Structure formats: C-alpha cells, structure tokens
C-alpha cells in the first residue's frame, strides 16, 4: 500500500483503483513472491501480486462499509451503563416476592438473542423472501441500524416518564421546608407571612409527590434576605389543649429542611434528597430520636444515658434489624442485609433531639433497637454476644418503596409520662419511591436484540464472506476494531460530559444512529459491489495469463 500511494502521487496516469499504481514499479520476474507463485503453478506468465492486490482492494471496500458500525457498538454498550442507571430509577418489584434488579435486566439480551436467531432464520427471513423482497447482508444491516435507533427512542420515552416522577431539587436560590406533626390526636394549622396556611393532621407531614400530584411543602425564595430566617406559627385545634407556638428556621438555598412539631419542643434538620444508586432494592432512611434518657428502658444504661436522671436525649448506637415474627427481639449483626447500624459518629444532637444520618436500607420490615457495642464501635462483623440490643417496644417499620428517602422520627407517646413502653413514631416521605415499573425497559431490550441479530451476526458474516481466503483473519481483526472504536466513542462522550438529562442523551443517540444508518445505506447503494471470491480468483488468473 505504501508503494501504491507513492506511485499514485508521482504518476500522471489514472487507474481504476489507486492500489493498481503498485504495478507502476513492480517487476514480476524480480519479485520473490511472484517467483515462488510462478514455480508452484504449471502455467507461466502469471503475476501472483495481481491477485493479492485485488484481494486487498476487496478488503478496503469491506473496511469502508464497516466504518459506520462503531456507532452501533457505542449504542449497544449502553445496556451495561446508561440503561442500568435508568433501571436504578425504576421500580424493580414485579410482585411482592419477586424483583428484577437493574443489573439483571441485561440477561434479557442473552435470552432473547438465543430465541431470536432461529426465529429470524426460520420465520422472518423466509417470510420476507416470499413477499418478493430480496434479502442481502447490507439490507439486513440497514434495517438493524434503524432498529438500534428505535431502541433508544423507546429508552428516551421511558426516561421522559421517569423524569416526571423524579423529585424536585431546590435551586440555589430556593429552600424547601416540610413539617411533621407529632402532637397526639391534634391537627395543626401552620402560618407564615406571605404564604398560604397549611393544615397537618396528627402523625402526618407535608409531602411533595409528582406522581400523586401533591405539592404541600413550602418553597421559599432565599434570595430575599428576609426569608433566610423564616418564622412560622403552629396553631393547634382548640380541643387539643396546646398553646400556639412560634419558631424560626434559618434557611439556605438548594436545601430541603423538615421540622418536627412535638409537645417536647420544635426541632428541624436538613434532609438528603439523594436516592440510593446501588440498585439493590434500597431506600434511604434517617432516624430522629426525641427520647430523653429518663424514659428509656432500665437496661439502656450506657453512653449519654449512664445517668438516667440527666435531661440529655439518647445519642448513642441504634440499629434497624429485620423483623422476624418468630423472634422479633433478635438483632443479627452478622447479616448485612438485615442489620443497619448507626453509631455515635453518625449522630448529631440538637436541643432535645438526636438526628442520625441517612443510610441505604433494603426494603422489608424492621424493628428499631438501642445498640451498645462491647468490643467494637460498630459494624456487621460483631456477633450477637458482642452487642447489647434493646428493642424499642412497639416500633415496627415497613420500608416498602424502592428508591425512596424516608425520615423516621420516634418520641415518647404524649400520654406516656415516664413509661418507656409507650412510644410513637412517624415515617415522613422526603422523596417518594420509584413509580415506573422496570418492565417498561423490556421493549427496548427486544428492539436492541433484534438490531444485534441484524448487524452483529450479519455484519460478521458479510465481512468474512467478502474477504479473500488469505485475508479472512485480517477482516476479523477489522471487525473487532469496530467494537473497540465504539467503546472509544463512549469514553470520549463521557469525558466531555455533554448531557445532564438522560432522556435527551438517549434521543440524541437515536438521531445520530439514524443518520449513520442513512449514510451506511448510501454506501451500500452507490459504493459497494458484492464479490464472489471463487469466481474472482479465476478471473484474476485469466487476466494475468492474458497479459
């Protein structure tokens, strides 16, 4: 090829293919390969290099036809990245006892491709032929490209639906504020200047849920300096026997706050709006305790509550342990999916409350326990003998939704006095659970699998059949390079960080794939001609003998 390029630059003669300029300086009788080739054949005056050049010409034509293929592989590889990210934002529960995890969805591709191969070979292709449509490898690949584009249109449609259920995130100039009412059997009315009043029933909270079209939380513009210290008034119903309460919250933009309204005082904290991203059927949970040491069980006598007469609130270890009906009081630290612990490092005490950080917890039913580690600070490696676990009586928490953010608040029942057996709790939904079923991804997996049949299998067959016997290994290497270049395309896109909306990204991929498919179709129509190498070799040899 190097000689042909050099000769083509120097030559003033136009040849049918630029590779044929190789023969401008080629002398068959002096070329070692030609000499060997001539000795092996009984007929004389045959140039072996002429056949080889023709083979290379065919290889180059095949290579040109494969130039659009890397874009398909770039899209195909999204099954293991962007499509999994999409699935994490979906509801993976199929039934109450069966779920499909996000990274398990790709198994559909493996199953479908095994099912589709005989379907295409025995049903679809023969049916299309009977309709009078001549099927060629390049036509199959064009249809495959269209299918690949449609798969990402389907993905984009699903993502647009998911986006409608994702939580609103406060901008840098806005703060979100919600409240939880823990006044026993008492409805509260909230008032704040320049905002409409809100009514909160007992053990309820203000919600923000796009799916249910509920928008109760306060959205406060903190660019206005007067709003950065926002004062509220809580007005109980007259029959409750409680007085009005005034309180102030210091606000910052881009944050979500929740306030806890309780007879034991008002406290507020900042919530983390980030959904779990591991795709392991989890929701994010934090715990707020309004439990003075004086109301704890007598067996809880460690840390901040060694002195039971102190006015301090409990701020030591707690845990969520998977609830078991046969043995509800057991807490198994060595079972990571059944034991979620918070240590003193995860706690922040403010006034009469202790706020524990948000952690990802698998769906299920849990009891809440006071935890004391005797030999270690925290972790799943402790055995039951190394910890003291005291259950909070009557607290059984159901975490049903996947991808939600919950805030669990526990306080003494308002009529409990000093009787620790009576506790009350509230599970405030900061971010609702994923709503769109993961099964809506199945259509895009079906379409991309059909595209794989039409492009991957057909493309390799096309490249192999259109290569000369001596160059079949080379054309296989070229095919593998298309996969590598597809990966490089994705790496470049990820490094550039061009997209912040997954739906838009998928739609752009679909458009680009459609454009590439159109260019591929033009190449198939106006550029490529199929080669039969069994006849081509004979033709080349006859031309050589004639010359």
Is 290 found in the same domain as 359? yes
Q: CB burial class (10 A; 0-12, 13-18, 19+) of residue 95?
A: exposed
Do both 314 and 397 map to the same domain?
Answer: yes
Segments forming the whole domain that contains residue 9: 2-62
103 class by beta-carbon count within 10 Å (0-12 exposed, 13-18 middle, 19+ buried): middle
User: Tell me, what CATH number does 120's domain have?
Assistant: 1.20.1250.20
Nearest to 378 by CA among 323, 317, 332: 317
In 3-state terms the chain splits into helix, strand, coil percentages (rounded to 5) of 40, 25, 35
Compute CA 51 distance to the chain's CA centroid, rounded to the nearest angstrom. 52
CA-CA distance, 407 to 476, in Å (whole number)?
57
For residues 234 and 355, membership in a common domain is answered with: no
**If we measure between CA atoms, which residue out of 64, 53, 44 comes closest to residue 26?**
53
The pairing of beta strand 405-412 with beta strand 282-289: parallel
- Which one-letter DSSP state was computed for residue 205? B
Domain count, the chain: 4
In SS3 terms, 311-337 reads as CCECCCCEEEEECCCCCCCCCCCCCCC
Angle at which helix 69-76 crosses helix 442-452, to 10 degrees, equals 150
pLDDT reported for residue 383: 56
Instruction: Check whether 416 has a pLDDT greater than 80.
Output: no
Residue range 401-418: mean pLDDT, rounded: 83
Helix axes of 458-465 and 472-496: crossing angle, nearest 10 degrees: 140
Answer whether residue 539 is part of any domain.
no
Residue at 177 is within a domain: yes
Q: What is the pLDDT of residue 21?
A: 47
DSSP class of 300 = -
* Lowest-pLDDT choice from 92-101, 140-149, 478-487: 92-101
CA dist 536 and 465 (Å) reads 13
Residues 27, 145, single domain; the answer is no
Do 520 and 141 touch, CB atoms closer than 8 A? yes
CA-to-CA dists, residue 263 to 196, 217, 288, 397, 506, angstroms: 24, 22, 15, 23, 51
Compute, in degrees rounded to 10, the torsion defined by CA atoms 158, 159, 160, 161: 60
Domain boundary among 204, 237, 271: 271
Q: In this structure, is residue 531 part of a structural domain?
A: no
Asked if residue 229 and residue 295 are part of one domain, the reply reads no
Q: Read off φ and ψ for residue 316, nearest 5 degrees.
A: -105, -160
The CATH number of the domain holding residue 265 is: 2.60.40
pLDDT number for residue 454: 96
28 and 145 housed in the same domain: no
Report residue 509 as tokens.
């991929």
Which of 105-119, 221-235, 376-390, 517-531 is predicted with the least confidence, judged by mean pLDDT?
376-390
Which of residues 48 and 497 earns the better pLDDT score?
Answer: 497
What rounded mean pLDDT belongs to the chain? Answer: 85
pLDDT at 224: 87
As a whole number of angstroms, the distance between CA 390 and CA 299 comes to 7
User: What is the rounded average pLDDT of the residues 467-480?
Assistant: 85
pTM of the model: 0.82
pLDDT in tens, 172-218: 999 999 999 999 889 999 999 989 999 999 999 999 999 889 999 99
Q: With cut-offs at 50, 70 and 90, classify the pLDDT of residue 305.
A: confident
pLDDT category, 472, cuts 50, 70, 90? confident
Distance CA 418, CA 397 (A): 23
Q: Which contiguous run of DSSP H or E holds residue 286?
A: strand 282-289
329 shares its domain with 358: yes
Tell me which of 220, 241, 271 is where a domain ends. 271
Confidence (pLDDT) at 13: 59
Mean pLDDT, range 230-248, rounded to an integer: 88
Is 466 inside any structural domain? Answer: yes
Domain assignment present for residue 277? The answer is no
Using an 8 Å Cβ cutoff, are 41 and 22 in contact? no
Q: 259 lies in a domain?
A: yes
Chain segment 505-544, per-residue pLDDT in tens = 999 999 999 999 999 999 999 988 887 766 655 554 555 5
The pLDDT, as a whole number, for residue 24 is 46
The CA-based dihedral angle spanning residues 91, 94, 100, 102, taken in that order and rounded to the nearest 10 degrees: -20
The predicted-structure confidence for 2-43, as pLDDT tens digits, reads as follows 555 555 555 655 555 545 545 545 546 555 656 555 555 555
What does the pLDDT average to over 46-67? 73
Confirm if 483 and 140 have CB atoms less than 8 A apart.
Answer: no
Query: Mean pLDDT, to the nearest integer, of 351-367?
Result: 93
Q: Are residue 288 and residue 421 in the same domain, yes or no?
A: yes
Say which residue the tokens 């490898």 belong to: 137
Same domain, 178 and 149: no
Residue 254: exposure state from Cβ atoms within 10 A (0-12, 13-18, ≥19): middle
Q: Give yes or no: residues 291 and 401 share one domain.
A: yes
Q: Are residues 57 and 174 in the same domain?
A: no
Residue 293 domain flag: yes
- Does residue 46 sit in the same domain as residue 158? no
Q: What is the signed CA dihedral for 332, 333, 335, 339, rounded to 10 degrees?
A: 90
Nearest to 524 by CA among 148, 134, 152, 153: 134
CA gap 189, 181 in Å, rounded: 10
Task: State yes or no: pLDDT of 44 exceeds 90.
Answer: no
| 422-454 pLDDT per residue, tens | 899 999 999 999 999 999 999 999 999 999 999
The sign of the torsion formed by the CA atoms of 34, 35, 37, 38 equals positive
- Helix (H) or strand (E) holding 112, with range, is helix 107-119
In this structure, is residue 544 part of a structural domain? no
**Average pLDDT value for residue range 344-361:** 93
**pLDDT over 50 (residue 237):** yes
């Amino acid at each position: 090829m190097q000689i042909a390029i050099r000769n083509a630059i120097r030559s003033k003669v136009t040849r049918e293919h630029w590779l044929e300029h190789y023969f401008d300086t080629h002398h068959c009788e002096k070329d070692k390969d030609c000499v060997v080739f001539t000795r092996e054949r009984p007929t004389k005056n045959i140039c072996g290099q002429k056949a080889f050049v023709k083979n290379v010409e065919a290889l180059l034509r095949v290579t040109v036809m494969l130039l659009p293929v890397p874009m398909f592989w770039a899209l195909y590889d999204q099954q293991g990245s962007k499509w999994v990210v999409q699935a994490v934002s979906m509801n993976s529960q199929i039934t109450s006892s069966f779920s499909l995890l996000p990274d398990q969805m790709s198994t559909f591709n493996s199953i479908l491709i095994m099912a589709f191969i005989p379907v295409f070979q025995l049903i679809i292709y023969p049916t299309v032929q009977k309709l009078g449509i001549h099927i060629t490898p390049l036509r199959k690949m064009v249809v495959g490209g269209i299918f690949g584009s449609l798969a990402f249109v389907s993905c984009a449609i699903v993502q647009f639906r998911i986006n409608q259920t994702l939580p609103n995130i406060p901008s840098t100039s806005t703060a979100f504020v919600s409240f939880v009412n823990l006044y026993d059997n008492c409805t509260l009315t909230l008032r704040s200047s320049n905002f409409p009043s809100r009514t909160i029933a007992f053990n309820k909270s203000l919600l923000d849920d796009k799916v249910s079209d509920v928008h109760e939380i306060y959205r406060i513009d903190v660019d206005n300096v007067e709003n950065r210290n926002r004062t509220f008034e809580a007005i109980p119903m007259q029959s409750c026997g409680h007085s009005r309460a005034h309180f102030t919250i210091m606000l910052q933009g881009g944050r979500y706050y929740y306030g806890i309204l309780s007879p034991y005082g008002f406290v507020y904290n900042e919530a983390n709006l980030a959904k779990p991203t591991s795709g392991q059927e989890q929701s994010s949970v934090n715990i707020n305790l309004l439990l003075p040491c004086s109301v704890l069980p007598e067996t809880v006598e460690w840390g901040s509550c060694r002195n039971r007469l102190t006015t301090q609130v409990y701020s030591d270890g707690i845990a969520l342990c998977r609830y078991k009906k046969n043995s509800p009081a057991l807490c198994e630290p060595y079972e990571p999916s059944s034991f979620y612990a918070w240590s003193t490092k995860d706690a922040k005490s403010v006034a009469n409350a202790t706020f524990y950080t948000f952690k990802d917890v698998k769906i299920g039913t849990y009891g809440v326990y006071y935890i004391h580690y005797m030999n270690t600070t925290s972790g799943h490696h402790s055995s039951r003998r190394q910890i003291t676990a005291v259950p909070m009586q009557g607290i059984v928490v159901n975490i049903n939704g996947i991808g939600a953010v919950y805030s669990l608040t526990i306080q003494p029942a308002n009529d409990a006095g000093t009787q620790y057996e009576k506790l009350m709790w509230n599970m405030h939904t900061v971010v609702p659970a994923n709503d769109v079923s993961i099964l809506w991804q199945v259509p895009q997996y079906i379409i991309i699998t059909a595209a794989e049949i039409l492009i991957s299998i057909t493309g390799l067959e096309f490249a192999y059949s259109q290569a000369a016997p001596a160059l079949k290994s080379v054309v296989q290497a070229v095919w593998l390079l298309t996969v590598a270049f597809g990966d490089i395309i994705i790496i470049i896109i990820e490094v550039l960080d061009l997209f912040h909306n997954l739906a838009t990204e998928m739609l752009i991929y679909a458009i680009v794939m459609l454009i590439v498919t159109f260019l591929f179709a033009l190449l198939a129509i106006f550029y490529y001609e199929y080669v039969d190498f069994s006849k081509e070799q004979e033709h080349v040899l006859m031309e050589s003998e004639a010359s």
